[in-house]
Amino acid sequence: MRFQDLLAYKKGFIVAMEIFELTKNFPKEEIYSLTDQIRRSSRSVTITIAEAYRKREYPKYFHSKLTDADSENSETQGWLEYALACKYISQEIHDSILEKSKEVGKLINFMILNPGKFGSKSEN
């Protein structure tokens, strides 16, 4: 299996691309702050999942990278709140992306709790 076939990766990629398209309409003064930060964190979710999967033979590394991916996902959710508060996005768009991001978080958590299903060895 390729890391691109992981459901968490696929769904995370969709979220990151939605955010990329959405942030094209953010004010120019946000380009080095909110726009950059939310793009970076949303993209880091999938890239960190890919790194974890490649090192899945090392349980502690696998777990550590997946928790990093989950942290990036949470950061993305925080930036979404700022985008809403600044009125750069509507409540509807916020809620839609947030729900997708929460689903990605659940999938990452499933990977953390079930490493054997992804080829990671037991830590025994």
Encode pLDDT of 32-58 as tens digits: 999 999 999 999 999 999 999 999 999
* Owning domain of residue 68: 3-116
Instruction: Look at residue 124 and tell me whether its pLDDT is greater than 80.
Output: no
Q: How many domains does the chain have?
A: 1
Answer whether residue 121 is part of any domain.
Answer: no
Summarised one tens digit per residue, pLDDT across range 3-22 is 999 999 999 999 999 999 99
Summarised one tens digit per residue, pLDDT across range 59-82 is 999 999 999 999 999 999 999 999
Judge if pTM exceeds 0.85: yes
Determine how many CB atoms are found less than 10 A away from the CB of residue 116: 10
Answer whether residue 123 is part of any domain.
Answer: no
Calculate helix-pair angle for 7-23, 91-113, nearest 10 degrees.
Answer: 150
